[in-house]
Amino acid sequence: MKYGRIISLLLSLALALCTLSGCGSKTNTKTDSESVDITDENSTPLEQETSVSVEPNAELLRAISADMMPEEWCAQLEDTITFKQFTDVLTRVVELWDSEKLPEWQEITSLASEAEEPMKREDGLLMLSYLWILMGRGSEFPMFFIDEEVNPDLRFTDEMREAQMSEPSWNYPYFPDWEKEVYEITHCNYMWGAVGVFPIMLSPVSGEPVIQWDENNSLRLKDALTYEDAVYMAIRFTDYCKIELDSEWHEYVSVSEVGTYNKEIITDTLLNAPSDLPEVTQSKLPSEWKGSGISARKSFVEQYLHFQESDIAFLSENGFNFTRLFLNFPTFRYPDYPDDPYMVNVMELEELDQLLAWCMEYGVHLQITMQRYMYEDGNHAQEDPYDMPASDEAWALTQAYWTMLTKRYAGISSKYLSFDLCNETEPTQNNIQMQKAKLEELVNSMRKADPERVLLYSQGNKGNIAWTEAFASLGVAVGCHPYVPTFTTSGDLHYLQQNPYAKAVWPLAYFPMGKIMEGKAALQISGDISGAKIGIHIWNSGSSPVIGIYADGQLVEKIKPEGIPNEWGEYNYNDIIYYVQLPESVENISIKIEDEFAQIDTVLIEKNGITTTIVPSDTLDYPDYTDPLPLIVNGDGTYTNSESLMYDPELIYKEAIEPYQKIAEQYDVGFMVNEFGMFGTSVHWDIDTVTAFHKTYLELLEEKNIPWCYCEMFNLFPKHLVILYGNESQWTNATEEDITYTLKDGGEVTLKVCKELLDVFREYTLK
């Protein structure tokens, strides 16, 4: 995510706002013994109106159940809340967060807690701002949700900034120190800091912001604060801060004292019920597995959500019989995150029990995947989350958690449950033997706890084969993640903003860039190119690269690109492209890096108003050092190579799957593709390209009888099967469809899906 650019934007906004406010120009110094008038001469009178009683929605029901609001407020949601009432609402939030902070909060709100005056929206933001600062959050923005790739509607524009200039009243008698600088990151006071933070703070539960802009780019700060909006503010703030509304979620136990699963959740009746799920052994993973992963529940501490039965109902209804849970082990310590990393939340464990019970009930195998290794403090590495543990203490903690889970579910058949020891993390080449020895200790501990549990280890795209052999030799099954070709599977908005010329097409011609970028081979292009203009875009390079362009062996031009230095001592080019006019009679051109290195990631051939966009198949993470095949331009916007070698099922299999399957066979352990798909975010590729890509992969996995799991059912970005946030899929021309599913207890849930993509999977899951 492009946090740096967005932080700069928000800093500019906050500083501009703080400067314009004067940071002290309109202080109201009245004491609590003086008469207080909170109205503004330019504001609309705040009149109490009689509302019509309504049935509370999910957010209001959660607020009622947590004693954040009385149920009778549902009869007056459109009326204006008072300072005293909103103080009571936020005081309940403080109780749920940290009851020891109540005296400090009561001192902060001593004036407001006695005031029966009606509130304005700005007053609500200001009071919430005091709570945000009390919680020690003044040095941060709500980082996980502000990225414009996720929430393009939440960007601060110049129009929005200008619209707020005259909005605040600057009259806050119940908070006389409101001008104090408390937002460290932007040097702003309580009020301007609130305007900068809360419109971009989203509840991970509802996906809605604490306060919304209207169609006129206004926060309507002078309008009355209704009961409804006040409760929304509080509940969404609470969701974002991961304050658990249910008081039962504060019981902790040491991992060494965790017992077996809750038998009132995973009942004997459920365990003894007939199941259509296939049998599973360590040496054979069933080809019948067809799954989709569950992330965006507990895969990140920053974005925490409780498990939902509707996820499993959706999978079952659409023919999936397997799901892979991305589990961030630190979420076992939610919501208090004790200093002792060996302490885990009892309700967290029982919620995992419930997820497994739902899977058993709906006929879906559950594979629990540890997303990252744990470190000594119970969290993940901050600098590089893909690091292996660097100490015995870190390994001991990871082993304690895995052994705890193994003991908890010992005796439950592997047809229902398997463990994936880690997702896409592997040691460096010179550290394999040491890390293998530590992994062996972990595996032995787990097998002592439950000899029958099936274990896997998942590698990223084109992972180190030596590490595959290392863990397979321990009797651990192989999980494979074939994300090829790199650009098609992983190109995102961040990449395309620096290279606006690339575009996704499928099928894609095989075109490796590794040898070309280092000058070990030349890129050869022929076909319909005479008299064309060629454009070359470079991702990065050395300090002074030289690129030679030759037409039929004769030098046409030497390009000496001038890039922008980056922190790694290389040079980037953003949207710079270099054009060269080719002779009319040319039959073959050769592009060669003659000095330094240059990673060419797009070549354009423009002729007769038609542009052929040539994208290498490995421009980003995994350069292939195979000799490149000469490319042939067809003149209709398409191209191929001299052997017509395209990314079809056979090529994908040979390049990114077969090497790992062979090792699994060599060591007689199971094998599966337990992640694949497109991870591009906010690239808005056409849905036809997207569905064609997924059909290729599904055809391959079906033909090879390989068990599989699609990367994700949904995540923060609306590009998978279910659209979790927002109303539209990011894929262009996609059809969004609401589908209602009936749960086992008779309840109903409606999910928004990407119809075209789901239909592709149904062709294989509903056979």
The pLDDT averaged over each successive group of 10 residues in the chain (767 residues) is 37 44 37 38 45 74 91 93 97 92 96 96 96 91 57 60 75 94 90 88 85 84 95 94 84 95 96 96 97 86 84 96 95 91 96 97 97 85 70 94 98 97 92 95 97 96 94 98 91 85 91 89 95 95 94 95 89 93 95 93 95 85 76 95 93 95 98 95 91 97 97 89 87 95 89 96 95
Residue 705 CB burial class (10 angstroms; 0-12, 13-18, ≥19)? exposed
Residue 738 CB burial class (10 angstroms; 0-12, 13-18, ≥19)? exposed
Tell me the residue type at 381.
Answer: A
The Cα 156–Cα 217 span in angstroms is 9
Alpha carbons within 13 angstroms on the beta-carbon side of residue 533 total: 10
Single out the residue of 585, 590, 526 nearest to residue 555, CA to CA.
590
Structure tokens at 317: 């209804």
The Cα 760–Cα 698 span in angstroms is 9
The residue behind tokens 């949700």 is 145
Which residues of the chain are in CATH 2.60.120 domains?
498-646
Q: What is the pLDDT of residue 159?
A: 67
**For residues 219 and 200, is the Cβ–Cβ distance under 8 A?**
no
Which residues of the chain are in CATH 3.20.20.80 domains?
253-484+654-729
In three-state secondary structure terms, 28 is coil
The Cα 762–Cα 767 span in angstroms is 8
Q: What is the pLDDT of residue 487?
A: 86
Q: What is the pLDDT of residue 381?
A: 58
The Cα 671–Cα 677 span in angstroms is 18
**For residues 194 and 186, is the Cβ–Cβ distance under 8 A?**
no
Q: Given this structure, which CATH class describes domain 498-646? A: mainly beta
Q: What count of residues does the chain have? A: 767
Q: What is the pLDDT of residue 303?
A: 73
Count the Cβ atoms, other than its own, within 10 Å of residue 106: 13
Q: Does domain 253-484+654-729 have CATH number 3.20.20.80?
A: yes
Q: What are phi and psi of 738, to 5 degrees?
A: -90, 125
Count the Cβ atoms, other than its own, within 10 Å of residue 230: 28
The Cα 395–Cα 380 span in angstroms is 12
Q: What is the pLDDT of residue 311?
A: 94
Q: pTM score, two decimals?
A: 0.86
Q: What is the pLDDT of residue 728?
A: 87
Q: What is the pLDDT of residue 106?
A: 96
Cβ neighbours for 132, distance < 8 A, ≥ 6 positions apart: 138, 193, 194, 197, 237
Beta-bridge partner residues of 750: 740
Q: Is the dihedral of CA 633, 634, 640, 641 positive or negative?
A: negative
Single out the residue of 390, 400, 475 nearest to residue 425, CA to CA.
390
In three-state secondary structure terms, 716 is coil
Cα angle 304, 139, 243 (rounded to 5 degrees) comes to 30
- Strand ranges in 199-283 using DSSP code E only, listed in sequence order: 252-254
Q: What is the pLDDT of residue 566?
A: 87
Strand pairing class (455-459; 477-480): parallel
